């Protein structure tokens, strides 16, 4: 591991020197420009900063494909990890509660099997186009409304229709959903439940399952959404986090992998807490 990490840390340091110098020169350049001097210094600062950022991202990609990939493959059965790939737009829209985006960015595709439960996931950023008309003209900008991770798990309990359990999203589907009130007041306060048929909601959301969803909400801050559809459980967590991003000015070592493992805990928690690995949820051989 050290044979890979040592040269990577050196490269990272170079990128940080470029970024740091670029930042200082840029600030100085801006000050000079404001006081009526040349703008060349500002341009030089910006170029240095840009080179530093590009190199830092390059180091991040090498770290992901050489160190993190190996680590994930050791941890997760049948692991497929690709830092450049992500879930496609249709897969993300299959949650049926995330709004159709005008721009989508997905990365850090991770698929595999935990305790016999297959899953696919990736980081997702969804943006919508906002157009503002002012006296000076039209201004268009893209606003992020979802930044987090989207998962799809195998859910082998047989059921009819669809059920959504949402913290603050609303269903985005033409299905004929009705709002269902479960018997737990706390659960109804935390999540809103929508189902094509109330019986299916009560069938999937057993008291234990509700309790587990509450535990998940406490353990993983963010805006959670669960969608049960066609033998799959789709989960989206909007926590404004990129799962496997490295930070500037911090060392690349095994403690970083531990931090990533903590981020991965949600997968273990979903499989264990929701008992997706129990017999009743599994397909018969």
Partner 1 sequence: MEPVWIVLIIVGALGLIVLFWYIATMNGLRQLEVKVNEAESGIDVALTKRFDVLSKMVETVKGYAKHEEETFMNVVKWRNNMPEELTIEQKEEFMQKMDAVQSGINVVVEQYPELKAEKVFSNLQHSITDVEEHLQASRRLYNANVSRLNSRIVTFPVSIVASKIGMNKKEFFEAEVNKRQDVDISF
Cβ closest to partner 1, residue 203 vs residue 268:
203
Q: C-beta of 203: minimal distance to partner 1 in Å? A: 4
Separation CA 149–CA 108 (nearest Å): 9
Q: C-beta of 160: minimal distance to partner 1 in Å? A: 11
Cβ closest to partner 1, residue 111 vs residue 276:
276
Q: Which residues of 59-84 are buried (b: 16+ CB within 10 A; e: fewer)?
A: bbebbbeebbbebbeeebeebebebe
Contact residues: partner 1, CB under 8 A: 158, 181-184, 186-187, 198-199, 202-203, 206-207, 210-211, 214, 279-280, 284
Separation CA 257–CA 68 (nearest Å): 7
Cβ closest to partner 1, residue 33 vs residue 202:
202
Q: C-beta of 258: minimal distance to partner 1 in Å? A: 30
Q: C-beta of 212: minimal distance to partner 1 in Å? A: 11
Q: C-beta of 201: minimal distance to partner 1 in Å? A: 8
Question: What is each CA distance from 23 to 15, 62, 161, 163, 213, in whole angstroms?
Answer: 12, 24, 55, 50, 45
Residue carrying structure tokens 């359990």: 165
Cβ closest to partner 1, residue 67 vs residue 229:
229
3-state helix, strand, coil in the chain (%, to 5): 45, 30, 30
Cβ closest to partner 1, residue 50 vs residue 203:
203
* Tokens describing residue 156: 């082998």
Q: C-beta of 214: minimal distance to partner 1 in Å? A: 5
Which residues, including other chains, have CB under 8 Å from residue 104's CB and lie 6 or more apart? 89, 92, 124, 125, 126, 127
Are 151 and 76 in contact by the 8 Å Cβ rule? The answer is no
Cβ closest to partner 1, residue 21 vs residue 200:
200
């Amino acid at each position: 591991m050290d044979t890979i990490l040592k040269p990577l840390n050196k490269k990272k340091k170079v990128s940080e020197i470029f970024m740091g110098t670029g930042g200082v020169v840029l600030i100085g350049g801006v000050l000079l420009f404001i006081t009526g001097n040349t703008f060349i210094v500002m341009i030089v600062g910006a170029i240095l900063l840009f080179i530093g950022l590009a190199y830092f991202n390059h180091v991040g990609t090498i770290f992901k494909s050489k160190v993190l990939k190996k680590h994930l493959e050791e941890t997760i059965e049948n692991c497929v990890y690709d830092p450049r790939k992500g879930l496609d737009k249709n897969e993300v829209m299959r949650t049926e509660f995330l709004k159709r985006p005008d721009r989508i960015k997905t990365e850090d595709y991770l698929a595999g099997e935990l305790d016999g439960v297959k899953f696919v996931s990736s980081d997702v950023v969804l943006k919508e186009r906002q157009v503002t008309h002012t006296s000076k003209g039209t201004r268009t900008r893209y606003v992020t409304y979802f930044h987090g991770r989207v998962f799809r798990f195998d859910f082998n309990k047989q059921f009819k229709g669809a059920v959504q359990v949402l913290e603050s999203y609303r269903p985005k589907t033409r299905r004929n959903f009705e709002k269902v009130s479960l018997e737990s007041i706390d659960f109804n306060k935390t999540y809103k439940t929508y189902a094509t048929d109330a019986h299916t909601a009560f069938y999937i959301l057993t008291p234990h399952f509700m309790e587990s969803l509450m535990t998940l909400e406490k353990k993983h801050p963010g805006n959670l959404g669960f969608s049960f559809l066609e033998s799959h459980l789709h989960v989206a967590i909007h926590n404004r986090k990129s799962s496997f991003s490295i930070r500037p000015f911090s060392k690349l070592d095994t403690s970083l992998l531990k931090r990533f493992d903590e981020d991965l805990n949600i997968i273990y928690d979903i499989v264990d807490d929701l008992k997706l690995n129990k017999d009743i949820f599994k397909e018969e051989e």
